[in-house]
Amino acid sequence: MKGFVCGVCGFISIDGSAPDKCPVCGAPKKMFAEKEDAMKTSKDVATYGESEKKHVPSIAVNKKCGLIPDGCVDVSIKVGEIIHPMLPEHYIMKVDAYIDGKYISRTYFTPEKMNPAVTLHLKAKSGKIAVVEHCNIHGSWYNEIDI
């Protein structure tokens, strides 16, 4: 899948253009390069192989938050239908989240200390949440779901 990739921090712009400034590291637009294969994705769940099952982000939406009772939607992200390993030599480095193609959050993971999962508490009541996870060996993987 195509995207504009920041040459400094690896952020991928998914809205079809490079931003004037990277929302993660502040790098200028000139540091972005358009890549046809910036992210891997799989549209047909029935054809997933083991690699996809360990990399494609799983997204679950809970419209009733237990932590913030009013105006909060929980979006839980887990990397892989089969949980991805978190070893020093092979791990999920980070997960970026977007609403309607616009960046909202980055979560970093430490191998051996964390599971590749995070829950975001959103104010948005509708829209499309997209997730890009970054594996240190197998690159970036994309998935999306409606809130």
pTM of the model: 0.92
Write the CA distances from 29 to 14, 21, 139, integer angstroms. Answer: 14, 5, 22
Residues 78 and 119 in one domain: yes
Q: 87 and 133 share a domain?
A: yes
| pLDDT tens, residue by residue, 18-65 | 999 999 999 999 999 999 999 998 765 566 777 788 899 999 999 988
The rounded distance, in Å, linking the Cα atoms of 143 and 45 is 11
What is the model's pLDDT at position 45? 56
Are both 26 and 71 inside the same structural domain? Answer: no
CA 119 to chain centre: 12
What is the total count of domains within the chain?
A: 2
Q: Which domain holds residue 17?
A: 1-38
Domain of residue 23, CATH code: 2.20.28.10
Distance of CA 87 to the CA centre of its chain: 19
pLDDT at 121 over 70: yes
Q: Is 84 a residue whose pLDDT tops 90?
A: yes
The model's confidence at residue 11, banded by pLDDT at 50, 70 and 90, is very high
Beta-sheet strands, E only, within the chain? 3-6, 12-13, 32-35, 57-62, 73-79, 92-99, 102-108, 117-122, 128-135, 139-146
Burial of 58 (0-12, 13-18, 19+ CB in 10 A): middle
pLDDT at 41: 85
